[in-house]
Amino acid sequence: MSDFRARAERLLSDLESAVDRLADDFDIDVLRAGNVVTLAFENGHRVIVNTQEAASEIWLAARSGGFHFRRDDVSGRWSDTRSGEDLRLVLARLIGIEVGVTPTLAI
């Protein structure tokens, strides 16, 4: 298994667990199919996170647009390729838009 695939799999698993913990307080369904994690909200909106192994990136899609993240091997952070923002912060903000409160994600 490639380094990227192993790190991406760990990230998706951690993301699944973190959002599952939020599901107790917010109505979020977490669905996993292979390398795709879909967060489904009560209002019908979705946030989709998936791996793009050929690009060594994690892609995130939401109503507000798409984001691409690459892992910094020094810091271990997954950073947006345009803004440099951490994946956890972007995802928390997108969840907050859907549920009305920006949560802290323990990923």
Structural domains in the chain, CATH included, are: 3-99 (3.30.920.10)
Banded pLDDT at 73 (limits 50, 70, 90): confident
pLDDT of 53: 94
- The yes-or-no verdict on residue 106 having pLDDT over 90 is no
Number of neighbours of residue 40 by Cβ within 10 angstroms: 16
pTM: 0.91
pLDDT at 61: 97
Reply yes or no on whether the pLDDT at 1 is more than 70.
no
Q: What is the pLDDT of residues 11-69, one digit of tens each?
A: 999 999 999 888 778 889 999 999 999 999 999 999 999 999 999 999 999 999 999 99
Q: Return the pLDDT at 10.
A: 93
Q: What is the pLDDT of residue 25?
A: 85
Backbone dihedral angles phi then psi of residue 82, each to the nearest 5 degrees: -95, -50
Can you tell me the distance from the alpha carbon of 40 to that of 25, in angstroms, rounded to the nearest whole number? 14
